[in-house]
Amino acid sequence: MTDKELIQAFLDRYLLTISKPGRYTGGEFNQITKNWEQTELHFAFAFPDVYDIGLPNLGMSILYDQVNRRDDALAERVYAPWEDMEVLMRSHSIPLFSLESKQPLKKFDVVGFTLPYETLYTNLLNMLDLSGIPLRSGERSNDDPLILAGGHACFNPEPMHAFIDAFVIGEGEEIIHEIAEVVKAHKQAAAPRLDLLKALDDLPGIYVPSFYAVSYAEDGLIKEIHHIHKPEKTFVQKRIVKKLPKPVTNFLVPNVKAVNERAVIEIMRGCSRGCRFCQAGMITRPVRERPASEILEALEQSIESTGYEEVSLLSLSSSDHSQIAELIPQVMRMSESRNVTFSLPSLRVESFGPELIASMAGKRKGNFTIAPEAGSDVMRTRINKSIDGEDILATATQIFKMGWTNLKLYFMIGFPDETLEDIEGIVDLTRQIRSIGKRLVGGRVKIHISVNTLIPKAHTAFQWLGFSEKESILEKYRLIQSGLKNTGIKLDWPDYDNSMLEVWLSRGDRRLSDVIEAAWRGGARFDAWHEYYDVDIWQNAFGSNNIDPTFYSTRSRCTDEILPWDHIHTGVSKKYLLSELEKSRALETTADCRQICHGCGIQANYTISCENIRTESL
């Protein structure tokens, strides 16, 4: 029997004995299955979490579409098997396989992992292990696939440097084709693996970690990072596409439940707001909009191609799209006539005027979400969330007047220079909003607030700050809790220890590769799932490697320290981030780049102009 037949026979026989077997069958509508033997290049795209979470991932859908458009290549998918399936596969010696052709991962030329967040790292190791592919890049031979990773978490690739052959930094639509060409040429030449890595290293936007050496000073800080073959190459700059290509509309439609089942059209990439805590806002610059006509056409196409009953628009800040006011009514008319629902997440209070609220009033009144982020005007100035308390109250008033009764508010704590007054501000603002709600909709008003702790992320103005100490965070939570007592306001916050993994991994350096491997060997899996995440496994992994985790978490960093991700460039200069940190301390705001250019570096580094978003918004 061939591998494929063996895997299919195993599935036919045993799938019924495990939970949610539909996760492992593939066969979704819009799945693309090409002839394996007659296609030259084999790409597998892997999402290191369970099928239900991974299927809707837009980044992976884009790459699947791009590669499958090529005549010389096929793209297939694989997700992390759930615990029971892993046990079953291991006990029958079944390797990890793709959903389309049921081919073992090891038989592919390229395995590309999508890493939107850090808590997937142990699953990635587990998937390599289940595939029989050596965990460490240095242990792989020509028979092994090229292991790639991309996604937002890869903007600090260092903690995973030992396991990934090459990282794709930034947007994948164009570079994936360059990678395909390089892999094809290498396959035809049957050259050593090192040559493949060298050819990839020449592509702008590719980071081959094994070509960089990192040395450390006695105090544990990074002394130097350099390219071992090309000393003149001091950094990798992220890739962008200057113009957004036509959006994917033929989404895979799952046969079993997934977390999001809807057609999603990305209306804008990048964000002009400049919130100082927001990593996504910095790493996705510059702002590029899709024209309203293209968005509408794509939505209609996607309904026809998927049959989904819900459509949604995606961006970091939908209400900032310069054509949003004309787009929303059009989308609402279209969705009504086609009997599908329309959802619009990521709206901002700042640009969410009464007209927009009114235009959405025909919809079913579900939850309405606003994100003041901080409780006081002072703190909102520090984080550059340019909206004051009065505006927030006015927006809440509008929302209640239009008939919504459930309001969800997002806040963060643990900001720099935070005082107890800022925390009391959260309580006051929430209580005021509740009073407005009570007056306008009476007893039906429901307020739910979610308070997260700031994780100072790489490539943001706050990257030098330490993560808050546990005591200080708990004190602040207690203050909020007692301030909201007997108000009926629902409050939730994350467990401090649950945040730690993201803190370590997003701010870590190369030494964390050993910790990640030790944690995986210690049983860590599905760390993004609270019921599976075990902080003790990670503490032990740090311990056995003699690494102090607080070096990465609560320690604040000097502005002249070499940061682990300094050789990864987003196009936004470090100088600009530093000036933003200083302005935060000096209580100065930075206006939206739609109003004025602050010279963040994007225009210069990509020889492009952001002028269009300034003229369009006038």
Partner 1 sequence: MRIRITYRKTGALLYTSTLDVQTIWERSVRRAGLILQYSQGFHPQPRIQIANPLPLGFVGAQELIDIWLDDERKPEEIKDLLNKSVPEGIYITEVNTIEENGPSLPKQIDASTYSVELLNSDDSIEKIQASTEIMLLKDSLPRVRNRKSYDLRPLIQEMSVQTNPDGKIVIFLKMPSNSSQTGRPEEVMAELGIPLENFRITRTSLVFLEKYA
Please report, as ranges, the residues that interact with partner 1 according to CB under 8 A. 12-17, 20-22, 25-29, 31, 253, 255-257, 303-309, 338-339
Single-letter amino acid, residue 580: E
For partner 1, give the closer residue by CB, 26 or 437: 26
For partner 1, give the closer residue by CB, 362 or 523: 362
- Minimum CB separation from partner 1 for residue 186, in Å? 34
Token pair of 70 as six digits: 């090529």
- Minimum CB separation from partner 1 for residue 307, in Å? 3
From its phi and psi, is residue 153 left (phi > 0), alpha (psi between -120 and 50) or beta?
alpha
- Minimum CB separation from partner 1 for residue 66, in Å? 23
**Cα(301)–Cα(298) distance, integer angstroms:** 5
Residue with token string 């819009």: 30
- Minimum CB separation from partner 1 for residue 255, in Å? 5
β-bridge partners, 343: 312
Compute CA distances 512 → 237, 268, 505, whole Å: 23, 34, 8
Residue with token string 């200069």: 573
CA nearest 78: which of 107, 45, 53? 45
- Minimum CB separation from partner 1 for residue 17, in Å? 6
CA nearest 167: which of 231, 107, 210, 220? 210
Token pair of 73 as six digits: 């290549």
Single-letter amino acid, residue 189: A
For partner 1, give the closer residue by CB, 303 or 387: 303
For partner 1, give the closer residue by CB, 258 or 349: 258
- Minimum CB separation from partner 1 for residue 347, in Å? 25
Token pair of 442 as six digits: 């009476």
**Cα(201)–Cα(182) distance, integer angstroms:** 10
For partner 1, give the closer residue by CB, 403 or 543: 403
What's the number of CA atoms in the CB half-sphere (13 Å) around residue 208? Answer: 22
For partner 1, give the closer residue by CB, 28 or 418: 28
**Cα(173)–Cα(63) distance, integer angstroms:** 7
Please provide residue 589's backbone torsions phi and psi, each rounded to the nearest 5 degrees. Answer: -100, 165
For partner 1, give the closer residue by CB, 16 or 586: 16
**Cα(409)–Cα(451) distance, integer angstroms:** 8
For partner 1, give the closer residue by CB, 305 or 612: 305
**Cα(344)–Cα(311) distance, integer angstroms:** 9
- Minimum CB separation from partner 1 for residue 437, in Å? 23
For partner 1, give the closer residue by CB, 14 or 606: 14
From its phi and psi, is residue 170 left (phi > 0), alpha (psi between -120 and 50) or beta?
left
CA nearest 51: which of 74, 76, 20? 20
- Minimum CB separation from partner 1 for residue 16, in Å? 4
- Minimum CB separation from partner 1 for residue 21, in Å? 4
Tell how strand 310-314 and strand 341-343 pair up.
Answer: parallel
Single-letter amino acid, residue 388: D
For partner 1, give the closer residue by CB, 25 or 612: 25
- Minimum CB separation from partner 1 for residue 311, in Å? 12
